[in-house]
Structure 1
Amino acid sequence: MFTVRCDCGAEAEQDVGQAVRDGRLCWDSEFHCRACGAAACLGFDAGDAPPWVRGPLIAEHGTVRLRLADPDTGRIPILKTLLETWDLSLTQAMLLSEQLAGDGLPGTLPEAEWLREQLAARRVRTEIVPGAATDDADFPWATGC
Structure 2
Amino acid sequence: MADGGGAMDRDVFESIRYLAACQDCGAELECTGVQALVGGRLRWDVESTCSVCGFALAVCGGDLPSDRREQLLTEHGAATLQILDPSGKSVTIMRVLRAELGIDLPGAKAVLHRLLNGSYSGTRAEMELLARKLRASSIDAAAVRP
The yes-or-no answer on 1:80 pairing with 2:95 is yes
Residue matched to 1:89: 104
Residues 59, 33 of structure 1: CA spacing in aligned structure 2 closer, same or farther, 3 A cutoff?
A: farther
Q: Is the 8 A contact 2:128 2:142 kept in 1?
A: no
The one-letter code matched in structure 2 to 1:85 is: E
Runs (5+) with no aligned partner, structure 2? 1-16
Q: TM-score, normalized by length of structure 1?
A: 0.77
The structural deviation recorded for 1:10 is 3.0
CA root-mean-square deviation: 2.0
Q: Is the 8 A contact 2:45 2:59 kept in 1?
A: yes
The structural deviation recorded for 1:73 is 5.0
Residues 113, 73 of structure 1: CA spacing in aligned structure 2 closer, same or farther, 3 A cutoff?
A: farther
Q: Deviations over 1:93-136 (max 9, x none)?
A: 011111111114110001111111110001111232324xxxxx
Runs (5+) with no aligned partner, structure 1? 132-145
Matches within 5 A, 1:1-145: 1-7=17-23, 8-42=25-59, 44-45=61-62, 49-131=64-146
Give the ranges of 4+ consecutive aligned residues of structure 1 lying more than 6 Å apart after TM superposition: none
The one-letter code matched in structure 1 to 2:111 is: L
Q: Deviations over 1:3-36 (max 9, x none)?
A: 2232534321111111111111222222221121
Equivalent pairs counted in the alignment come to 129
Q: Is the 8 A contact 1:17 1:57 kept in 2?
A: no
Task: Tell me the secondary structure at the aligned position of residue 145 of structure 2.
Answer: strand
The structural deviation recorded for 1:64 is 1.3
The one-letter code matched in structure 1 to 2:71 is: P
Task: Tell me the secondary structure at the aligned position of residue 49 of structure 1.
Answer: coil
